[in-house]
């Protein structure tokens, strides 16, 4: 812990990789933990796939709204972890957040440089004309369609569905190239290719730190590993940052 605090104090550029464990304190389910939503019913991965969206977009939207509880999304607020990350910026550090989360809470907490690796629940886009629609519009329609008179295409959510291409990986690696420290918070590091990012940092000899309640298959890649509650650990750290 003392060595990690020293690294944080010395680092000017910090890249923070975040997963579902960062948002659970805000009430959002952890989809991939040992008790996560995806372990309850493997068919959900099929229903949340690009293939199923194109096969039956009407039923896709019904299941999508149910699984992700879109009506409740605006009730969720940033928690102490989001605030800690933003506080690093307030100390004058250059901070980039690369998140697996799709809830938009990092932005709500004030983080200014957020790469949403798996997209966002807060918007949807028309595959026909490219028009973008916000959460209010999405929630006001059972099956949201483009409202442009000449279009009317069923909208596609702006999250990365199973089978979609990851478009932010190269950008994430470019950010890591410029960093002094990679801090990984609240992720089991089971999902590819996101879990290649700590490997990339390790290969570039960049200091890496992991704080997660459970062990991960990638623990060996980190210079600092803390298996403990995320909020209480960060509160200890924050009190000793300069």
Give the pLDDT confidence of 198-220 residue by residue, as tens digits: 999 999 999 999 999 999 999 99
Tell me the pTM: 0.88
- Annotated active-site residue in 118, 169, 223, 227: 118
Q: Measuring CA to CA, how many Å separate 38 from each of 30, 69, 163?
A: 9, 14, 16
**1-28+79-118+165-242 adopts what CATH topology?**
Rossmann fold (3.40.50)
Is 54 a residue of the active site?
A: no
Please indicate if the annotation marks 40 as binding a ligand: no
Average pLDDT, whole number, for the chain? 90
Residue extents of the structural domains in the chain: 1-28+79-118+165-242, 31-75+121-159
Q: Residue-wise over 195-210: b if at least 16 C-beta within 10 A, else e?
A: bebbebbbeeebbbbb
Class of domain 31-75+121-159: alpha beta
pLDDT in tens, 20-40: 899 888 877 655 544 445 445
Residue 61 among known ligand-binding residues: no
């Amino acid at each position: 812990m003392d060595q990690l605090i020293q690294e944080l104090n010395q680092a000017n550029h910090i890249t923070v990789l975040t997963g579902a464990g960062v948002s659970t304190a805000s009430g959002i389910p952890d989809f991939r933990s040992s008790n996560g939503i995806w372990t309850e019913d493997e068919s959900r991965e099929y229903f949340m796939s690009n293939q199923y969206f194109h096969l039956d977009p009407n039923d896709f939207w019904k299941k999508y709204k149910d699984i992700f509880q879109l009506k409740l999304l605006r009730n969720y607020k940033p928690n102490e972890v989001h605030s800690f990350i933003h506080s690093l910026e307030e100390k004058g550090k250059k901070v980039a957040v690369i998140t697996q989360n799709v809830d938009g809470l990092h932005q709500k907490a004030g983080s200014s440089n957020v790469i949403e690796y798996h997209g966002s629940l807060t918007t949807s886009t028309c595959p026909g004309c490219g028009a973008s629609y916000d959460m209010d519009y999405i929630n006001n329609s059972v099956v949201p369609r483009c409202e442009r008179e000449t279009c009317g295409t069923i909208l596609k959510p702006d999250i990365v569905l199973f089978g979609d291409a990851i478009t932010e990986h190269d950008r994430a690696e470019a950010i890591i190239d410029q960093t002094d420290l990679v801090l990984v918070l609240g992720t089991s590091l089971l999902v590819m290719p996101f879990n290649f990012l700590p490997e990339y940092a390790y290969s570039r000899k960049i200091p890496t730190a992991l704080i997660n309640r459970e062990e991960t298959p990638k623990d060996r890649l980190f210079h600092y590993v803390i298996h403990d509650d995320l909020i209480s650990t960060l509160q200890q750290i924050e009190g000793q940052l300069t």
